Structure 1
Amino acid sequence: MLSLLLSSMLLAPPAASPAGVVKPGATLEKLWSEGEFTEGGAEAADGSILFSDIGTRIMRFDPETNEVTVFRSPSGRANGLIFAPDGRLVAAEGANTGGNRRVSITEVDGTVRTLADSYQGKRFNSPNDVAVDAQGRVYVSDPRYVGDEPRELDEEVVYRIDPDGTVTRLETTATKPNGLVVSPDGTTLYVSNNGPDLKALLKLDLDPRTGEVSNPKKIKDFGNGRGIDGMTVTRDGLVVAAAGSGPLGGVYVYRPDGTPVDFIAVPENPTNVEFGGPDDSTLYITAGVSLYRIETTLTGYRPEPPAK
């Protein structure tokens, strides 16, 4: 009983901030609910939202028509998605039936290729989520939750993939990393650890010149509750995370030091979040078998190429 109480306290929704992050009068809207397991929202240049329906498809939501169509199938069990600063789609493709166990690039012309699928000659476990920085470097979490394929790597860690495909293992202290995101100024990498030993939000210093990380710190501990799955950031540096389950399931907003700001309840277990819309204030949420959206007072951020 005590452990359950402590878990609830650690993941209790924060009290709403005075201003609130939900736009006055806005309500959560379910856009689509015909999936198997939705994940990984990413806004394309045309304003459409791509999201994964694990395990066989990447879907496309058109906010102009509210139509959902298939963008890519089979998807190689694509999970986390993000657009690089140059407009190419980066996908973490996991393990299990039909899984490619790689990080792929979809070129602007639709061609799909492998960016990386191994570290020191050993195949990835099951790439789960991806983040990018302004220099085009990709950060990928590589846990293994499902899949009977033989494992070639003993550890479940975070890797950095440089534009030329070079893969570097990062020392993050995460033992089962999941969601990850780079701060707007490029100096922080946030990583969620979602394993049986630790469910926490980790914060690391990131050198924007080299992509090296240091000084890992735990800024939020979720106890025995369901920790953070996917996350994104706002233009002013807030962390917006999909976490929790049941009455505690929803979108949690944190300051860079882990201080809670606000909470948006979601009726299905949330998996990922992405800002979109003309002013980047529409929050899209993948959860359960569905895609949701809600209008917020926040402004999302995505990396742009550095000025020449």
Structure 2
Amino acid sequence: MFDSPLSASPYDVLGVASDISEDDLRRAYRAKLRETHPDTGGDAAIFVQVQRAWELIGTPEARAAYDRGRGAPTTAPDATATSGWRAPSSRPDTRPRARTHGQPGGWRRERYLNLIREWAGRGVDLEDPYDPQLVRSAPLDVRRLLADALAEEASARIVADLGMGYTVWHDVAAAGRGSNPDDKLDHVVLGPSGLYGVLSEDFGGPVSFRRGEITGAHVPGAPITELLGRMRVVARAARVRFSGAIVVLPDEDVAQAITELGKIRGMPVVVVARSALSTVLRRGVSGARDIGGNEVFDVRTRLDQTVTYV
């Protein structure tokens, strides 16, 4: 929860200063619990944030540990990154993996590196562009680029583990080569349950839903509307039909793991917590059109022949 470049610190969540006394911290926590409890009209996602904040700084030992490593992230990006924010090394995984194309989060990570160096005013000699303190002090639009890149990389790792029955295309251009790189689909996933356009996001806080759209204090634009528009562009170019649309968010930013929004502009849409992504891709989205037999091969071939990358 507090490892996103956009997330507030546990002190911010509880609305207190970092040098607050233990007694005052406990009182602030209890007040926040009452204020955000769903049974009294509070927001369930914020209620979870308050509980998580207390886990991190609610005891002298936990608070001291947090303060010593304050700002250090625990969610890592792709291990191919040049420095910082790394995933722990592990033994090679020899299980069959999904067929993948493109670089998840590649454009946004590259753009982040350019902007953080420009903002820091040190050019290419910036020692560590992923230093936690540097990241958290950067402008919001710069931090958002990194947060989105991390979100896309996290989803890509999950999809890759689904196995050889799945094919995924990352960073798919949705307006032709050379167009605005923001006009893209984060992931296009083809598997036994259907063909899905997938948006991986991190808005930096809890979200809610209103009239088939995602809303929240830090949600820019109309994410679902924009996702469906990009899916239509790719579908027309490749002459394929999508089964549904999936929006993937950090677990702590949604009140429940799977939220079916029904059909929006004729397309079934579901918002999922990241930990539920594999479940949804395996079982499919309610109301989604089935794909089977030779159609899977045909769809894969059409996408392979037409997809371009940002």
Same fold (TM over 0.5): no
TM-score normalized by the length of structure 1: 0.31
Larger Rg over CA atoms: 2
